[in-house]
Structure 1
Amino acid sequence: MTTTATTLKGQPLDRGVLDGLLRRRMFYTPSFDIYEGVKGLYDYGPPGCGLQANIIDVWRKHFVLEEDMLEVDCSVLTPYEVLKTSGHVDKFADWMCKDPKNGEILRADHFVEDVLEARLKGDKEARGQKAEEKEKDAKRKKKQKAAEAVKLDDAVVQEYEEVLARIDNYNGDELGELIKKYDLKNPATGVEPEPPVAFNLMFQTKIGPSGQLSGFLRPETAQGQFVNFAKLLEYNQQTMPFASASIGRSYRNEISPRSGLLRVREFLMAEIEHFVDPQSGKKHPRFHEMENIELVLLDRHTQSAGSTKVKTMTVGQAVKERVVDNETLGYFLARIHLFLKKIGVDQKKIRFRQHMANEMAHYACDCWDAELLTSYGWIECVGCADRSAYDLSVHAKRTGAPLLVRERREEPLVIEEWQVDIQKKKFGPLFKKDGKTVETALLDTSQEQREALAKELGETGNLTLDVAGVGDGKVQISKDLVQIERRTRVEHTREYTPNVIEPSFGIGRILYALLEHCYWTRAHDGGDEARSVLSLPPTVAPTKVLIVPLSANKAFDPFTKDISLKLRKAGISCKVDDSSATIGKRYSRNDELATPMGITIDFQTVQDKTITLRDRDSTRQVRADEDKVIEAIRSLVEGDKAWADIENELPIFEGQEVVVTEAKS
């Protein structure tokens, strides 16, 4: 006879209980905790490190190996000029506002969002609707206290909801207007904050002992890949398209770090830069493999209309209808979806949201975020941006480096165009220090401008050119200094600057959302209190197997050592628990650590060398000899099989279940 367990996977998440579990079992912990810590900095403990490493391992196999990407590891310290050129010095900022009473710094969009959500919550309570579960942390309590149970007009409720749907699209001035319009006050002081100002998120530093070379801790890994483009192209034998990839730490000086691992100042990123020929229409040779994958999409037009209504479409349909701009962007959205599914993300808690115009990063022409639903709401965990040719173009212009592709044409291209010839021996002495400026302005003219200038030169013997910063902005050039003629040339080689599609993964955010999605409690008949379980898939679980000798009997020791050795040789992480606790308690505390499988060594093992294999989620068991069980574990860890497949292949074992499920903790 076996006892039954009640599965409570559909229950509301108690974030306080989960957070306590994760810290107690040291998945993560505040950095420098004994010094009262620093906001936005966290350390990973043994299970957190194992989970992070396994997520990265799956990521590498899913993207780098599958797509034959070129992985690089670039410097974290980045010179000022690199990030000035990329636009990060001037534009990589969030809006912050200051409370004039206590000096608290608030991130403006989060402040507006929190107060409006608190008011809507107060409205729900006033209408008699069931209140949401109370938050455990002090900040949330303050906000809840500010959310008085006051009924709002239906029109006001709708207006608040529309503002929240567009919250990512407001600039600083617009956020300031919202604060004044809705009389938003800091719950901690009851005072309206000062108008929002831009705050650059990068950590600045000095490189070298002289302090003369300024730099930053990189805010992303992308720039290292862009400045190495020419070398990567050469390594790839000048073949396009191709992708580079990088995994490493990035740093952002967040205004108000919060929400645990979701908003931190130091984090691990995994980024891909897929370089593509813009003339190809950004098509992808493997798009047909992904076109039937269904995605949940929230486009910018829906958000701009004040709605968060999603639509489910196949990638093929989304690209065909231009909801998603091109095949390569759509291909990577589908690949991102499959990766998140593979590591265990709840498929009912994922959507792809398109950035609105004001929200778009300075380098992007389109961007979609893979957002995961957590107890904190929808959280951006992966960004997939079309960066066009922005980065390669600005770095090439600043340095003169040829960050472009040269391809031999199959058929020579005959081009008829207006060409400019400058008599440099006369040109320089005439214009002196302005010579280079005038020459550049002349060579930068378009074909239409050159045609008009040639006509003027032929009719009058002179041409008038607009040159900013020289004299009154108008420069006269005579025909003895310049010739503009229409000529034919033949191009055997094509040169172009590639466009870039960039999937960017925040590993810490994915890790935390995954833990929320996989957390549940198991209640047992007979009055046992509910026990926490983390149902991480075997592919990413920190420890794959728990080895449990039935007792401290010395006869079990050789089997424990032998099985442990075989698992480790197979590259499967395992842990032995030979403590005096009951089997039920030993399994229960490892269910908290997400260990998906358990091996029990008992007296039957001594007799016939068979062992039991337990499944964490169902607590069901099978029994077979060592080699068959280890092969079953290998297939589960590699994702080749599910537990149901193992039950079909190996004999079900029920004799030990009474001991396991009825054991008191």
Structure 2
Amino acid sequence: MKVNSHYNRELPKKIPVRVLRYENEFAKYLKTNKEQLDNVIVRRFFYTQTAEIYGGTKGLFDLGPPGCALKQSILKLWRQHFTIQEGMLEVESTMLTPSIVFDSSGHTKRFHDFVVQDLETNECSRADHILEDWMEKLIEEKPKNKEEYQLVKIKADSYTKEEIDELFEKYQITTKSGNKFSKAKPFNLMFGTQIGPLGSSKGFLRPETAQGIFVNFKRLLEYNGGKLPFACSQIGTSFRNEISPRQGLIRVREFPMAEIEHFVDPLDKSCKKFEILKDLEISLFPKGRQENNEGCIVMKLGEAVEKKMINNETLAYYMGRTYLFLKKVGLKEEGLRFRQHLDNEMAHYAQDCWDAEALTSYGWVEIAGHADRAAYDLSAHMKHSKQDMRVFIGYDVPRVEEVLVFKPKMPAFGKHFKRDTRFLMDYLKSESAESIIQLINEELFIKNKESYTLKVDEEKCFQITPELIQIVKTKKKKTGRRFVPSVIEPSFGIGRIMYCVLEHSFYVRQDEELKNVFQFTPFVAPVKCCVLPISMREEFEPSINKVAYALGSAGISRKIDVSGATIGKRYARTDEIGIPFTVTIDFQTIEDGSVTLRERDSTKQVRGTLKEIVYAIQMLLKGKKDGGFEWEDVLSKYTQVKRPEKEK
């Protein structure tokens, strides 16, 4: 048996720097199979555009039976790999969210992309997408300036409005028809709606699941006994009003997400479990190598933390866990990397961000983000809700600590702030203001600046000068610390992961003719087993029912194919939707109850009793690392059977 276009090459064990030819080879392979893959996705109804009979709707997709099962398999594995194995808490918040939540988090004002408009047709496009496509065109037309164009392409989604306008002017970017674009303008991506019959309460369809965890932090902390660190996960649907949806499931307007918020002491982001993964090697694309147009580097996580390439152990630990998860769902190593955010694309409050990216026929695609978001989210909700989001950690023995306190210079302080005097004095005396007082001291009395802008909330903003206050050191007995926790956030786009699994798993096998195969891992295969009777005779019905019942009782999803096609064609049909195992019922089954088990990728078969075969499938689905079987173990334990001539 020959395998045609089946990419099955192992990377060398040690690669100090990722050689680009590996990526290029894999990218070429993905593009070669793209047309055939798209055909199978549509024909076997993995997914299709919503309201297809009415012409479809951009950015919205309906999943068919195999697509639905694939998505649920990925989510089941995700929950097992993260929520259960890591001992996380789990919540389920509403998709429809009151606007005050997103006003507080900053989404209402800042959750946008930049849009440009065709001045002739008024068609809208995302500015960074147009910029990326134009740079690709220039790279092909003017390879001398390749490095310049590549760098612009890498930074495309991190430019400001002014920078985008300058680049469109510099490179004379136009539409495919040669029309000019308008200036870039921000477009908020959230879907707004009204709550209630009078429309007096505004709401949004959530653009992420994270805020549902943050607004429930106090209850989660109480549920966890007031102890840090702890993590909470959530799986759910999110919505974004994408300007120009494209690339199938890659950029859509409604999509499943799985997110984790890991709450940790901002002064201690170490991770006890990091020891387990510190020697794991993953492909990293740090910002320095991006800016210098260099390739990825393969490095141990422990070394990356030591060199301060990755900010802290907890962030690195989750990157390692994500890598293992993505490998388990079936993504190829040469099509997987972690790219660090450049300084100008990272949120101002974030301390480090890394995206897990998968190589597809469309190029590199972000499928999971990993961010050290500091204490921004909880601080924002604490400020707007007036609820205390701080955690108290007691000392074993009370400590006397030197602290900074402010003393107003009266009456100048009262005369300047008038009615706000009492509010401001109370605010600056609170424990939560200790870090603010430290900043005021550094700005006014160490750096000798003329004033400090104290922003208490969106409405209250005060200018403080050295003439109005003095800051003195004093000693204070403390039994513990109060602080707002920092957050490490791994966030997964399940739809994107699902699409990447489809691309990475697909290949074309050549026997006497070309056959499409999805090489799904048993963990995520939409259906685990197919039951095939070799004949449609009535006498086979009791055996079919018996096998189907045994598989169902063992928790193994199965499909029964009793069509009149040849056994070879029915095997090919099961391979085309990625079913890893097939139980075949033949005339010997009627005589002694034994059945054959066929494995999709090798097409080899073994024979055993129904009980033995069901047990073998259970162990194959469990996997070697978790105490189960590999296919080679099954071949050694059970009697091998020759491939039927009709399948050949």
Paired residue for 1:235?
A: 223
Alignment of 1:34-53 (within 5 A): 34-53=53-72
1:615–1:26 CA distance, 2 compared to 1 (3 A): same
Paired residue for 2:350?
A: 364
CA–CA distance in structure 1, aligned partners of residues 239 and 472 of structure 2? 53
Q: CA deviation at 1:170?
A: 2.1
Q: CA deviation at 1:14?
A: 2.9
Paired residue for 2:11?
A: none
Alignment of 1:350-429 (within 5 A): 350-361=336-347, 363-417=349-403, 419=405
In the alignment of these two chains, the number of paired residues is 608
Paired residue for 2:595?
A: 611
Paired residue for 2:505?
A: 518
CA–CA distance in structure 2, aligned partners of residues 211 and 266 of structure 1? 24
CA–CA distance in structure 1, aligned partners of residues 106 and 356 of structure 2? 24
CA–CA distance in structure 2, aligned partners of residues 470 and 61 of structure 1? 47
SS in 2 for 1:538: coil
SS in 2 for 1:211: coil
Paired residue for 2:170?
A: 181
CA–CA distance in structure 1, aligned partners of residues 461 and 147 of structure 2? 56
SS in 1 for 2:323: helix
CA–CA distance in structure 2, aligned partners of residues 470 and 622 of structure 1? 76
Alignment of 1:133-144 (within 5 A): none
CA–CA distance in structure 2, aligned partners of residues 276 and 483 of structure 1? 33
Instruction: Indicate the larger mover: 112-121 or 543-552.
Output: 112-121
Paired residue for 2:23?
A: none
Structure 2 residue 44 is the aligned partner of structure 1 residue 25: yes
Q: When the two structures are superposed, what TM-score results if normalisation uses the length of structure 2?
A: 0.88
CA–CA distance in structure 2, aligned partners of residues 429 and 184 of structure 1? 57
Alignment of 1:251-266 (within 5 A): 251-266=239-254
CA–CA distance in structure 1, aligned partners of residues 461 and 106 of structure 2? 28
Computing the radius of gyration over CA atoms, which structure comes out larger, 1 or 2? 1
Paired residue for 2:605?
A: 621
Structure 2 residue 298 is the aligned partner of structure 1 residue 312: yes
CA contact (8 A) 1:467 1:474 kept: no
CA–CA distance in structure 2, aligned partners of residues 471 and 616 of structure 1? 69
CA contact (8 A) 2:452 2:463 kept: no
Q: When the two structures are superposed, what TM-score results if normalisation uses the length of structure 1?
A: 0.86
Paired residue for 2:324?
A: 338
1:451–1:385 CA distance, 2 compared to 1 (3 A): closer
Structure 2 residue 160 is the aligned partner of structure 1 residue 171: yes
Q: What code does the residue aligned with 1:182 have?
A: Y
Q: What code does the residue aligned with 2:5 have?
A: L
Paired residue for 1:651?
A: 639
Q: What code does the residue aligned with 1:490 have?
A: K
Q: CA deviation at 1:158?
A: 3.3
CA–CA distance in structure 2, aligned partners of residues 199 and 451 of structure 1? 38
Q: CA deviation at 1:169?
A: 3.2
Identify which of 427, 434, 445 aligns with 2:420.
434
Q: CA deviation at 1:331?
A: 0.4
Q: Deviations over 1:575-606 (max 9, x none)?
A: 11111110011111111111111111111112
CA contact (8 A) 2:409 2:467 kept: no
1:402–1:26 CA distance, 2 compared to 1 (3 A): same
CA contact (8 A) 1:624 1:650 kept: yes
CA–CA distance in structure 2, aligned partners of residues 429 and 365 of structure 1? 40
Paired residue for 2:97?
A: 78
Q: What code does the residue aligned with 1:88 have?
A: H
CA–CA distance in structure 2, aligned partners of residues 511 and 451 of structure 1? 50
Q: What code does the residue aligned with 1:69 have?
A: M
SS in 1 for 2:523: coil
Instruction: Indicate the larger mover: 548-557 or 412-421.
Output: 412-421
CA–CA distance in structure 1, aligned partners of residues 408 and 439 of structure 2? 19
Identify which of 4, 9, 12 aligns with 2:6.
9
CA contact (8 A) 1:246 1:272 kept: yes
CA contact (8 A) 2:91 2:232 kept: yes
1:410–1:43 CA distance, 2 compared to 1 (3 A): same
CA–CA distance in structure 1, aligned partners of residues 385 and 519 of structure 2? 51
Structure 2 residue 550 is the aligned partner of structure 1 residue 591: no
Paired residue for 2:16?
A: none
SS in 1 for 2:645: helix
Q: Deviations over 1:74-127 (max 9, x none)?
A: 111122221111111111111110010111111111101112213434x4xxxx
Structure 2 residue 437 is the aligned partner of structure 1 residue 446: yes
Q: Deviations over 1:244-294 (max 9, x none)?
A: 0000001111110000000000000000001111121x1001001001111
Paired residue for 1:459?
A: none
CA–CA distance in structure 2, aligned partners of residues 418 and 261 of structure 1? 53
CA contact (8 A) 1:168 1:356 kept: no
Q: What code does the residue aligned with 1:545 have?
A: C
CA contact (8 A) 1:466 1:475 kept: no
Q: What code does the residue aligned with 2:82 have?
A: F
CA–CA distance in structure 2, aligned partners of residues 226 and 451 of structure 1? 31
Paired residue for 1:268?
A: 256
SS in 2 for 1:358: helix
1:213–1:600 CA distance, 2 compared to 1 (3 A): same
CA–CA distance in structure 2, aligned partners of residues 420 and 349 of structure 1? 55
Instruction: Indicate the larger mover: 636-645 or 580-589.
Output: 636-645
Q: CA deviation at 1:431?
A: 7.1
Paired residue for 1:321?
A: 307
CA contact (8 A) 1:441 1:467 kept: no
Q: CA deviation at 1:418?
A: 5.5
CA contact (8 A) 1:442 1:465 kept: no
Note the residue ranges of structure 1 that are not aligned, 5 or more in a row. 124-151, 455-463
Alignment of 1:263-302 (within 5 A): 263-280=251-268, 282-302=269-289
Paired residue for 2:145?
A: 156
CA RMSD in angstroms, aligned pairs only: 2.9
Q: CA deviation at 1:449?
A: 6.8
CA contact (8 A) 2:441 2:471 kept: yes
Q: CA deviation at 1:421?
A: 7.6
Paired residue for 1:574?
A: 558
CA contact (8 A) 1:284 1:328 kept: yes
Note the residue ranges of structure 2 that are not aligned, 5 or more in a row. 8-28, 446-450
SS in 1 for 2:202: strand
CA contact (8 A) 1:244 1:273 kept: yes
Alignment of 1:464-483 (within 5 A): none
CA contact (8 A) 2:404 2:437 kept: no
CA contact (8 A) 1:465 1:476 kept: no
Q: What code does the residue aligned with 2:167 have?
A: L
Q: What code does the residue aligned with 1:516 have?
A: E
CA–CA distance in structure 2, aligned partners of residues 288 and 540 of structure 1? 28
Instruction: Indicate the larger mover: 569-578 or 413-422.
Output: 413-422
Paired residue for 1:538?
A: 522
CA contact (8 A) 1:620 1:657 kept: no
Q: What code does the residue aligned with 1:499 have?
A: S
